């Protein structure tokens, strides 16, 4: 039952992502990331044995733990990269604002002359 739920979530997610990209609402790299997540969900829900197999290989006795650990780690990494991207944006906005102010002043100056 859970696998079916995950499969449906994965399917809806991939369709939504493709739809958003098609409508031009989502930027390339982000879309690829989310599509990858959706594909993983579909694969894992279709073949739950994969999780059991990997868990056994890395020595985890209760396989669902593996899913949770991997999922939370990926979410944390994603959040970190989001904050990095936000900082970069903030830096660009600040520098653009400064540059705009400088150029504006120069235009005014040259109009006065």
Partner 1 sequence: MKTLIVIPAFNEADNLAQLLPELRKISDLDVLVVDDFSSDKTVEVVTGLGVSCLQLAIQLGAWGATQAGIRYAKRNGYNHVITMDADGQHLPQELATLVEKIADGPYNVVIGTCPQRLSRLKKLAWAYFKLLSRIKIEDLTSGFRIYDKRAINILSDKAASLLDYQDVGVLLLLLQADLKICEIPVKMELRHDGKSRVFSSWLVVFKYMLQTTTLCIANFGAKQSK
Interface contacts to partner 1, rule CB under 8 A: 87, 90-91, 93-95, 97-102, 104-105, 109
CA dihedral for 29, 34, 37, 43, sign (positive or negative)? negative
* Shortest reach from residue 108's CB to partner 1, in Å: 9
Contacts of residue 46, defined as CB under 8 A and 6 or more positions apart, other chains included, come to 3, 7
Exposed/middle/buried for 10, CB within 10 Å: 0-12, 13-18, 19+?
A: buried
* Shortest reach from residue 36's CB to partner 1, in Å: 30
Smaller CB separation from partner 1, 74 or 86: 86
Smaller CB separation from partner 1, 78 or 92: 92
């Amino acid at each position: 039952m859970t696998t079916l739920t995950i499969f449906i979530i994965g399917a809806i997610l991939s369709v939504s992502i493709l739809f958003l990209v098609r409508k031009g609402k989502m930027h390339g790299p982000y879309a690829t990331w989310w599509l990858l997540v959706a594909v993983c969900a579909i694969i894992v829900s279709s073949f739950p044995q994969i999780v059991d197999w990997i868990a056994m290989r890395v020595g985890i006795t209760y396989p669902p733990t593996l899913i949770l650990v991997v999922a939370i780690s990926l979410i944390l990494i994603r959040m970190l990269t989001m904050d990095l991207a936000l900082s970069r944006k903030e830096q660009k906005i600040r520098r653009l604002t400064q540059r705009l102010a400088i150029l504006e002043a120069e235009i005014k100056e040259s109009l006065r002359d």
